[in-house]
Structure 1
Amino acid sequence: MKESLPNEDTVKMMERIVDDFPSELEDYFGRMLDIIVPRYHEASSRILLGVMESNALIPLTLVAHILPEEEDGPVSVDHLHSLRKLRARLKAYCGDLMTVVEDLGYRTNFTDCHERIDFLHRTVNDYLHSPPVKCKLQSRVPQCFKPSESIVQTASRYFKFANQSINIALPHPVVEIIISEAAKLEDVEYEYDVSIVDEVREYVVKSNTGPSNREFVKLALQRGFYSYIREKFKDMSVFRCGLDATWALRYVLFEVDFHGQQQAMVAYKIKPRMVRALLDRGANPNAMAVDGTTSDISALQFLSKPQASIWVNYVSRMVPDKTISALLKPSIDSQVFEADMCGIFVEHGADYSATLTGRQNVRGALQMYFGDMPREAERLELLARRWRRRGMISWAVEPSASGQELLRPDGGRPHSHSPKPGRLSPNMDRGGRRRDKMRDKFKSWLL
């Protein structure tokens, strides 16, 4: 750059010089990587691949727990987390490829995490991301190694040795790393140990300044912890405070952040999977939108039909009135998204014939909304019929409940329309084979 500026080189020429800069250092960085002692190869590769994967700088203290076997044996916390010893260990593991930077913002509240590890220079990151070098690093770790999973496990081992005086709250750097990396594992639908996330919840809730279970579950919903919701909502007694899948469904669908531009708390791209996970865990789409457990969901006070069901309020917000719909038609992307959402609801027993306004029901509103997408409208019709006719779980009004209170029949147990044991279904012949196979194939093709 010093040579280019006096020579009046063009901007494109200088950009080319900057882009070519890492290639000139390949041999230099290669020698740094090769002089690492072989017995440190696995540890160094775990650190380098982890830092390459993480969006945030990893605290130096996690270097003490980078290898699973290092947690064995009685070692004092002060010795294990000695910054001087950890700096020496990082030097042995990674040579001069990594350096330690100080984050003054964490120095007061999180004294053991104010020092972070980072690449010596941006060009080191570029060099390590090159396919041959990345392949070389991956060859030094077990074949099943995954960077995000390794970071989550390393951070969880840190909590087992953490001093009780450390304030484990949501802003804690290690907590943030676990949450962000676990969310990455969820995005790729990778099976990981969700008990690690629950251990973090226990640490955070027990902390003096930590949030409640309710606040942590909100965070899990916002980050899209589908596996965690599917696993932990089997037994919701661990959450206490009246939390259930129906409450979480209201939060996912309606809650917004009123600061700024009223952004949805749960991103739209993860809503379909999250809604499906909650409905699979027993969330009732036909429950009242507002009840005694929803006082902390502030956006519910702005619903147009608070006494109606969650499903009716969702459809009424999705389908504008005739005046607005004539002026502003929904985009194709919006219609595709809503078709996916409505299909999930109807598939799980949302009342397809529920009253929306005095002259319109949900079925008519959706047919009008998906007028340009006849296949989606037909798909919703078939899902609703399948729910009614093929013995799927159904929601109904409990006889002892008020007309506005929609609950599961038989004290919360699903009601099935399937025939009694030993009795042939009308769709079966005497040999137990289904009738009208062409009709079923046609419906399967439409779905």
Structure 2
Amino acid sequence: MNDELKGEVTRGARALVVYPQMRGKGDLDPEARLEEAKGLALAIGLVIADAIAIPIREPRPGTLFGEGQIQNIATACELNEAELIIVDGSLSAIQQRNLEEKFKRKVIDRTGLILEIFGERAATAEGRLQVELAHLDYQAGRLVRSWTHLERQRGGFGFLGGPGETQIEADRRMIRDRMAKIRRELEQVRRTRGLHRDRREKAPWPIVALVGYTNAGKSTLFNRLTGAEVMAQNLLFATLDPTMRAIRLPGVEKAILSDTVGFISDLPTQLVAAFRATLEEVTAADLILHVRDIANPDTDAQKRQVLDVLGDLGVLGSEVDDEAEEGAEPGIPIIELWNKWDLLGPEHAEKLREAIAHREDEAIVPISAVMGEGCEHLMEVVGHALTADSKVYSFLLPAADGQRIAFLHARGEVISEEDAGEGADGPLLRLQVRLAARELGRFQAL
């Protein structure tokens, strides 16, 4: 790569966004895909000079685009004074190099752009490790010194710890060694996370996980329900590291609410693997709240993307049909939250209310996380979902058994409590208590 291209791009640089529209591929329409790509670029402080979609009939192995299309892109760069070209698709190392030579500008693809965002946003040690592993995996297949364009704007964390670490970029063996070391450290993180999860399971507090497409409003809702101050901005991937807070729900003294990384179409495979530990929090949840931006024209396509990822994580359970084996693994219950209701027009809102009425077999709650509309009803729905399998049990306990009696009061709904005479160890109490199945299991383990 030419030296004049290195370190040239900084925050505030003007970027031309190009979406290569492959025939028969992609759920999102070109305009929606361009809007999403522009959102990704804005998330790291770039200025959008222009955004264009270019239909691709047959991808060129050396450049992806045809010669005429390359000339059109070059002209757009000149007209808009673009310093950087973002190709909202996947480029091979050869394609990237050839395009940079033709355009005499830095070229990055969708994977590289998302990696840049993740490099900026990761706030915890685990997040930084995951980002670095993903970047190194990506870098391993790239030409030496081909990725120094945005790291110079920041020091400290990010890819390879910032500028100056050229030996890692220049030495593939060192990259492999570093990746092996990071994997060992992440395995330790997973073990620690597992221990924390085990402790949470011993303390009978249900876990509720917020999931959804990036920028659907998960963090805004998280803040609304918990009173926390998690970063919630109109930016893609505003949340990267899982955040957990305790909340009180009707019928549930305490539950743990978890905010997770947003999903996105065509998430780089390196990041799907590297962020597995982060998404493991979803697999341990008792209930999933799928937050959808119902005002987005592509909300259905976004839903499919989220469900695809959840399916890959194994949280949707086994497919149940007439030929399914008995005892098929049930999935984690999901409640859909149709967020940004305040952005809908009256006619659109009425159509969606009719749609909800006709989908009685699905749990759907319309809300506005920003305005707070529907959030109180949501808390009731979540509380009911967590206690839906509750039954009334009768317990005969020694009056001196303070631990178990306190547990029943804290984790269940005590319907009645009365003296039951004398036992071998003193006075007895009879309690009628409504308990969820998981709470009963915890009680029996005491």
TM surpasses 0.5? no
Greater strand share, structure number? 2
Greater helix share, structure number? 1
Structure 2 length-normalised TM:
0.25
- Greater radius of gyration (CA): 1
Structure 1 length-normalised TM:
0.25
Report which structure shows greater RCO (CA 8 Å, sep ≥6).
2
